[in-house]
Amino acid sequence: MTHSSDLPARVTIPALLQKKQRGQKITMLTAYDYPSAYILDHSEVDIVLVGDSLAMVMLGHPNTLPVKMDEMIYHTKAVMRGCRRSLVVGDMPYGSYQDGMSQAVQNGIRFIKEGGCAAIKLEGGKQRAGIIAALVEAEVPVIAHVGMTPQSMHRFGGFKVQGKSVQAALSIVEDALAVQEAGAFAVVLESIPAPVAQVITLRLRIPTIGIGAGLHCDGQVLVWHDFLGLLDAKPARFVKQYANLYSEMLNAANSYCREVREGLFPEEQHKYDMLETEQFLDRVEEVYGNYSAYPSDEGSFQKGKV
């Protein structure tokens, strides 16, 4: 039996609120599977988000709209197997909460019950306040997401920076205040001007987590494939690539292909030996005659060369 003291202490929602009060930054990154979750859980990251961005970076869709609840739950379960320390948050996909409170609560509970995560994230401000309150009432902790909400891409005409005019900026401030009042414990601010994010961060009790929202948020979030440079695509302006794994992985695949073609892989240490090789080969000769499936350099089978 494992004693609870053997496990690393889990990041909790109260601990995140305390971080804001103490002026300590919160770190969040996305993960979608067991290995990525395992790596992040061994890093210092606070929150692992199973983002609906997986529709794009894992499943190859052009936007986040097609991903379904069942797919999100499938990935959340895999992430949970890799996370013992960090707080895992499941992202409500498009169509899982827009139909009203009862649908939202049902799907929020699915994330907690089936996915095993501690909280959910959903997109929208004032217009989602009722849904957020219903989820919180049902013991589903919520991170809200305002500004450039990718599920609204058709209304925005693409993934466009939001809140550039005074009126639009004030509307995002109202969204952030509304989701706080509804009970969200944090809010993601995506692709908005830095001064707007700074004002929101100063006015809210709950932490703000920025992506394309400048330095003055309480925390930051980036997508796994973006910060690792895993895709061969021009990143958005707000992305900082901390590695170039696309090149590393491409080089590794090409080195493997070259070594297989040139007979350099597998090497001595990659093969399994057999104690009774001689007896085995004698027996093969008895049963099959002069066996030539493994030709020597000269083209005929030689026992000593196996």
**Binding footprint of ligand KIV, residue count (CB under 6 A):** 11
Q: 86 with 42: CB under 8 angstroms? A: no
Considering 114, 190, 262, 276, which one is annotated as catalytic? 190
In the bound state with ligand KIV, the residue whose beta carbon lies nearer, of 227 and 301, is 227
* Residue 222 CB, nearest approach to ligand KIV (Å): 7
- Give the span between the Cα atoms of 168 and 161, in whole angstroms: 11
- Give the span between the Cα atoms of 175 and 190, in whole angstroms: 13
In the bound state with ligand KIV, the residue whose beta carbon lies nearer, of 180 and 208, is 208
Torsion sign, CA atoms 248, 252, 254, 259: positive
Of the candidate residues 192, 221, 228, 281, the single one contacting ligand KIV (CB under 6 A): 221
- Give the span between the Cα atoms of 24 and 36, in whole angstroms: 25
Binding mask 140-179 for ligand KIV (x = CB under 6 A): -----x----------------------------------
Quick check: 188 binds ligand KIV (CB under 6 A)? yes
Burial of 176 (0-12, 13-18, 19+ CB in 10 A): buried
Let me know how long the chain is: 306
What residues numbered 80-99 form the site for ligand KIV, per CB under 6 A?
91
- Is the bond into 266 cis (omega within 30 degrees of 0)? yes
Quick check: 41 binds ligand KIV (CB under 6 A)? no
Active-site annotation holds for 276: no
**Of 126, 134, 125, 124, residue with least CA distance to 100:** 134
Stretch that binds ligand KIV, among 5-13, 31-39, 47-55, 287-295 (CB under 6 A): 47-55
Quick check: 30 binds ligand KIV (CB under 6 A)? yes
* Residue 19 CB, nearest approach to ligand KIV (Å): 18
Quick check: 184 binds ligand KIV (CB under 6 A)? no
Quick check: 223 binds ligand KIV (CB under 6 A)? yes
Q: 300 with 289: CB under 8 angstroms? A: no
Enumerate the active-site residues: 190
